[in-house]
Amino acid sequence: MLARFVKRLGANVPVHGEAHAVSRTRAYPEWHLASSLAEATWRAFQGAAVVAGGVDLGERLRLVRRAPRSIVCIRGLAELRRLDVRTDGVCIGTLVTLQELAQSPLVLERFPALARAAGLAATPAVREVATVGGNLMQYPRCWQLRTEGRPCRRSGAGRCHSDGSWRADGALFDRRACASAHPSSLAPVLIALGARAEAHSVSGLVRVPLDRLYPPRRSSAGRPVCTTPADILTCIHLRWPAPGAVTFFDARRTGDTVTAAVAGSVQVRDQVVEAARIVLGGVAPSPWRARAAEARLVGARLCPAALRDAVHAELAIAPAPAGSAAKARDLQSAALTALRVGEGVS
């Protein structure tokens, strides 16, 4: 199985326990198939890169951007592949695939916005192998970052070296540190739902609010991670929605990829919004908590036009980069349709 996986990655690498051709011309990473979480965390602690579905890491390996010396594959860890129902909510194992998430009867019933986000991401073939953990930890889709030898702030250069031209996956907010938007479709909706991440490392278990996985503004250097690069995300914990909560997600795509997303969870009484948590995807180097939109929505009657106006208020907080008008339109159009596909609002 591992040899097939390696072939899909396009890498010709030595695999422990399997005969495999080794190139003499390039230093390929050493592979380890973890048989336990303890082994995986130990290898990650020693510097191995973690691979789950391999969609994102595989692409980066093909471009050989800072190829790691070794890789630990966690796909065999059955305990990370489960949806565990608990009294206070559900624990989503980080090896659950986007397809499994989109089709899970439990997620469809209790967290329809999350099921929609998983079902809209990428393509059916990608969703089949891409995992929750890999989706949250994927790198921005900036070729400057992903191509060998090019300087980039996220990989250690002092500043962003993108040429500044507008791209569909570019950021609208907080562009000084990094002009590329975070690409995860799951992160905005999970943050809007108040998810917590559980991660294991050699020093034990940490639980953090999911937004802590992403670096604070203006310090986006390095891999997004909550504590140390050796952490392995094991599960994402979601509480059952409170009575009166309305959750929603909708997105617009450019080609195969979601490039603008609106996610939220609002508390409603007598159709009036009492509290709101709105997170936009595809607009900033990290999932963007839309505080201006939240302030605009609280006290309003919940309806698609109110949500569109709230997103419009968020867009007004920063000057739009030249060429980004289509993304602003996409966000407002996603806001108009998000409630119709969410819970409880017709």
Gap between the Cα atoms of 43 and 17, Å rounded? 16
Q: Does 140 sit near ligand SF4 (CB under 6 A)?
A: yes
Instruction: State the binding partner of 70 from ligand SF4, ligand FAD, none, CB within 5 to 8 A by kind.
Output: none
Among 162, 201, 234, 286, interactor with ligand SF4 by CB under 6 A: 162
| Residues 51-110, interacting with ligand SF4 (CB under 6 A) | none
Gap between the Cα atoms of 243 and 301, Å rounded? 18
Per the rule left: phi > 0, alpha: psi between -120 and 50, beta: everything else, 77 is beta
| Residues 278-337, interacting with ligand FAD (CB under 6 A) | none
Q: Does 181 sit near ligand SF4 (CB under 6 A)?
A: no
Closest CB to ligand SF4 among 159 and 301?
A: 159
Closest CB to ligand FAD among 48 and 172?
A: 48
Closest CB to ligand FAD among 57 and 92?
A: 57
For residue 217, what are its two tokens? Answer: 């503004």
Closest CB to ligand SF4 among 20 and 161?
A: 161
Binding mask 88-117 for ligand FAD (x = CB under 6 A): ------x-----------------------
| Residues 217-256, interacting with ligand FAD (CB under 6 A) | 232-233, 256
Query: How would you label 298-308 residue by residue, b for 16+ Cβ within 10 Å and e otherwise?
Result: eebebeeebbb
Tokens 């409603």, located at residue: 268
Which residues neighbour 253 within 8 Å (Cβ) at sequence distance 6 or greater? 120, 259
Among 61, 92, 117, 152, interactor with ligand SF4 by CB under 6 A: 152
Query: Per CB under 6 A, which region of 119-127, 159-167, 239-247, 287-295 contacts ligand FAD?
Result: 119-127
Closest CB to ligand SF4 among 182 and 196?
A: 182
Which residues of this protein are in contact with ligand SF4, per CB under 6 A? Answer: 140, 142, 144-145, 152-154, 160-162, 178-180
Which residues of this protein are in contact with ligand FAD, per CB under 6 A? Answer: 49-57, 94, 121-123, 126, 130-131, 133-135, 137-138, 183-185, 232-233, 256-258
